Amino acid sequence: MATDTFLRQLSDDGLHLPEIKLHSLEKLQRHNYYARVFATAMRKKWPQLAYVGLYSGAGRARVVPEGEIVETTAMSVLRLPDPFTHYIFVDSDPDCVSALKQRVAVVPRRNVQVIHGDVAATASTVRQALPSYGPGRGLLSFCFIDPFSTDFKFDVIRQLGDLRMDFLILLMLGWDARVNFTRYYEDTQSTRIADLIDCPNWRAEWKSQGSTDVVGFLLRKFNEAMVRVGYLPAPESALHRVTASGKNVFQYVLAFFSKHQLGQDFWKETLAGNSDQMGLGL
Ligand SMILES: C[S@@+](CC[C@H](N)C(=O)[O-])C[C@H]1O[C@@H](n2cnc3c(N)ncnc32)[C@H](O)[C@@H]1O
């Protein structure tokens, strides 16, 4: 599959357009590639395939400063040749929610729900929105978690992770965690890192290990948290580090977790694409 299939340039439809940076394009393409491989391979095997997009955005965005308008993950998953049977999106920004609802309305897909709210506060709503499952009505889900920062609570995964659900998570470990780590460490009232890695005593562990590798520490702790809720440990190769286009400045990690090796195999295939082809050639 050619990588350009996974990033659509669009014109202005007059609805809300959040701004994104060039380095977000790789996220869009990797996500779109994975979603397509997953849905195509699993559609015939599972009667119900659900997609959950947490921090879903508006479905389109403007790349700044370049100005191009691109389709973002929420709309791309609706256009898959082998679609999911159910879609649930969550965003707290009323402008994003309103625009996404209007964009979704013109796509001929049933079972699409756009939830307006805080991801941490709506996990139970998402759960209720998923289709019921049982013998003959098996449910397999894929959840993409795409926050702006490390302000994500692992508890959301705990509330969903007992299901058969694979997770692709953007961990904002470059900008944010690495840049602000000293502040989060010294502000003992801050629970941001503890909430992210599900480890209230992380400061003592960080101090005792005597390392300066913030990103390595957080990835190890996040991986351990996923294993505790039943996921396979993600190999280092599944924790994909993305740098700013044209510069060697680390931005974020795309981390993939599944309970089954097949999920990791799909993600490996997704990452096998040449990173140089990512983006719009801008
Ligand atoms: C990085 S953007 C998402 C981009 C989108 N997934 C895409 O494909 O381009 C983060 C989104 O999270 C939303 N957001 C921020 N804090 C949130 C929260 N606590 N709960 C739900 N959504 C939130 C923002 O409105 C924004 O649309």
Q: At the topology level of CATH, where does 3-172+230-275 sit? A: Rossmann fold (3.40.50)
Report how far ligand 1's centroid is from the alpha carbon of 89 (Å): 10
Report how far ligand 1's centroid is from the alpha carbon of 151 (Å): 11
Token pair 């010294």: residue: 186
Q: Who contacts 273 (Cβ-Cβ below 8 Å, separation ≥6)?
A: 3, 29, 30, 33
CA neighbor of 8 nearest in space, from 66, 64, 59, 65: 59
Report how far ligand 1's centroid is from the alpha carbon of 28 (Å): 14
Report how far ligand 1's centroid is from the alpha carbon of 209 (Å): 33
CA neighbor of 225 nearest in space, from 260, 193, 199: 199
In contact, 88 and 128? CB cutoff 8 Å = no
- Number of the ligand 1 atom closest to the C-alpha atom of 73: 8
Report how far ligand 1's centroid is from the alpha carbon of 271 (Å): 24
By alpha-carbon position, which residue is closest to atom 13 of ligand 1? 55
In whole angstroms, give the CA distance from residue 254 to residue 104. 26
Strand 19-20 and strand 60-63: the pairing is parallel
**Token reading at 78:** 């609706």
Q: Is ligand 1 within 6 A of the CB of residue 3?
A: no
Distances (CA, A) of 156 to 124, 125, 161: 9, 11, 8
The whole-model pTM stands at 0.95
In contact, 139 and 81? CB cutoff 8 Å = no
Task: Count CB atoms within 10 A of the CB of residue 66.
Answer: 12
In whole angstroms, give the CA distance from residue 95 to residue 211. 42
In whole angstroms, give the CA distance from residue 88 to residue 111. 8
- Number of the ligand 1 atom closest to the C-alpha atom of 27: 8
Strand 69-71 and strand 9-10: the pairing is antiparallel
Tens-digit pLDDT string for the chain (282 aa): 444 568 899 999 999 999 999 989 999 999 999 999 999 999 999 999 999 999 999 999 999 998 999 999 999 999 999 999 999 999 999 999 999 999 999 998 889 999 999 999 999 999 999 999 999 999 999 999 999 999 999 999 999 989 999 999 999 999 889 889 999 999 999 999 999 999 999 999 999 998 899 999 999 999 999 999 999 999 999 999 999 876 788 999 999 999 999 999 999 999 997 555 555 554
3-state secondary structure string, 227-263? HHCCCCCCCHHHEEEEECCCCCCEEEEEEEECCCHHH
Give me the helices (H) in 17-80, please. 24-42, 73-78
> Looking at residue 107, what DSSP letter applies?
S
> Looking at residue 137, what DSSP letter applies?
B
In whole angstroms, give the CA distance from residue 118 to residue 267. 28
**Token reading at 167:** 């997770």
Q: Is ligand 1 within 6 A of the CB of residue 143?
A: no
**Token reading at 161:** 């992770």
Report how far ligand 1's centroid is from the alpha carbon of 71 (Å): 15
**In the prediction, which pLDDT does 2 show?**
44
Q: Is ligand 1 within 6 A of the CB of residue 91?
A: yes
Q: Is ligand 1 within 6 A of the CB of residue 32?
A: no
Report how far ligand 1's centroid is from the alpha carbon of 146 (Å): 6
Q: Is ligand 1 within 6 A of the CB of residue 59?
A: no
Q: Is ligand 1 within 6 A of the CB of residue 72?
A: yes
In contact, 172 and 137? CB cutoff 8 Å = no
In the chain, what are the domain boundaries? 3-172+230-275
**In the prediction, which pLDDT does 278 show?**
59
